[in-house]
Amino acid sequence: MTALERNPAASFPAAVGHKTADREAAYRLLNNERVDLDALIAPHIAQSVRRTEASGARPIVVIDKTELVFAGESDRDDLVRLGANRQGFDAFFALAVSPTRTPLGVLAINSLATAGGRSAADEWHAVVDAAGDKIDHKRPIYVMDREADAYALFAMLIARKRDFVVRVAGDRWIREHESAAPEMLRDVATRAPVSLRRTVKLTRRSKLGKAPDARRRHPPREGREASLVVRGCSITLPRPRKLPKSTPSSLSIHLLQVTEENPPAGLEPVEWLLFTTLPIDDERAVATALDTYRARWTIEEYFKALKSGCSYEKRQLESRHALLNALGLLAPLAWRLLALRSVADDPNAPASAHLDADELHVLRKLSHDVKLGAAPTAAEAFLAIAIIGGHFKQNGRPGWKVIWTGFQKLLDRVEGYRLARAEM
């Protein structure tokens, strides 16, 4: 772990060094049948729970499923064939996030080897349970995207008194109240009163590397500012006919519709439809529910840190078991990469809490655009590090990738400084 922390994207042989015994030891660990993901990730989960409890605020637990894809023609043990040269498996992740969207750590990872088996609602609820068993005493709010839009899942969450915000997958028949006639969801939402107006910055979305289905659900777009209107109301969801009668016949739930006013010509307006159990009684409550859902993007950044920053999908391991063990090592490092951005946002913490004396000394010598005094803050130091990584101050808040690039360059120079000092 010390070797990987130095460079999470390095291959295992490159990370552990040139000694044959060290490389063989790493592979014995990864391939050992007595070692598993749950045991490897347990210390990080325990620390995530501690960070969640120390934050004091009501935490958000973002849950999402991602496809982990590994290239290669030869079959790898217990992976699903996804194409001519692609194999992989799906995994659910639960990530604890503060209300200010600071990533607090992974709470659960549930992998799926093959399709089928339990229902989609059961799969989502299993990872909710895995996370909730650890932090339900903190009354977390569970946030999920459209794939989690399942009546059975909502019924389970409500029965366990777990609050949630889930994006709606599509229009459907609902009732405005129990005795009302059925109507389409969008019709009810559109006539609800405006609860909130908000201007937000929409990020650019590229089509590169996306599967056709992902491009359909998340079409490419240029970044822009969008004026949003939020409407909210209470509704009754009737039980779908395919579900057993043991499931509640209806659920009382809140609906939020977020739509873009006056989108640019030729572009589809942004729209979110959200189901939530959070209160929507006034503007402040609606804003809280909306911002809670917006924290969902943090897990997308986490997946980028895992797949790009830690090069997880490039690992040349020959079995699902070994790949899951590698995930147990890399998942905490992916969180650490993402957490660097939160450190860079802290205007009060001293840089000395995150960098040692040699690192600060070398950083002062390298930094030209940011003048670092005798006791710089973490925000000042990490802005200087981001600039070393290629960030431009006029571009606003630095992302984790550019911070990590700068941090690696800083560590390389610190190593040279220490070697030179040792020769003096």
CA atoms of 271 and 148, how far apart (whole Å): 18
The closest alpha carbon to 123, from 87, 147, 105, 101, belongs to 147
Predicted pLDDT of residue 114: 53
Cβ atoms of 87 and 72 closer than 8 Å = yes
Q: Using DSSP, state whether 102 is helix, strand or coil.
A: coil
CA atoms of 278 and 62, how far apart (whole Å): 15
Predicted pLDDT of residue 158: 97
Predicted pLDDT of residue 3: 86
CA atoms of 187 and 172, how far apart (whole Å): 10
Per-residue pLDDT of the chain (424 residues; tens, 9 = 90+): 888 988 899 999 999 988 899 999 999 999 999 999 999 999 999 999 999 999 889 999 999 999 999 999 889 999 999 988 999 999 999 999 999 999 999 999 999 855 455 778 899 999 999 999 999 999 999 999 999 999 999 999 999 999 999 999 999 999 988 888 999 999 999 999 999 999 988 777 776 555 556 656 667 777 788 899 999 999 999 999 999 999 999 999 999 999 999 898 888 898 999 999 999 999 999 999 999 999 999 999 999 999 999 999 999 999 999 999 999 999 999 999 999 888 887 778 899 988 899 999 999 999 988 889 999 999 999 999 999 999 998 888 888 889 989 988 998 899 899 999 998 8
Predicted pLDDT of residue 268: 86
**Structure token pair of residue 126:** 């299993």
**Burial of 304 from C-beta contacts in 10 A (0-12 / 13-18 / 19+):** middle
Question: Going from the N-terminus, what domains does the chain have, and what CATH number goes with each?
Answer: 1-140+296-338 (no CATH), 146-155+163-284 (3.90.350.10), 346-423 (1.10.740.10)
Predicted pLDDT of residue 38: 97
Residue 206 neighbours by CB under 8 Å, 6+ apart: 220
Cβ atoms of 23 and 16 closer than 8 Å = yes
> Rounded to an integer, what is the distance from CA 369 to the centroid of its chain?
32
Question: How many other CB atoms are found less than 10 A from the CB of residue 81?
Answer: 11
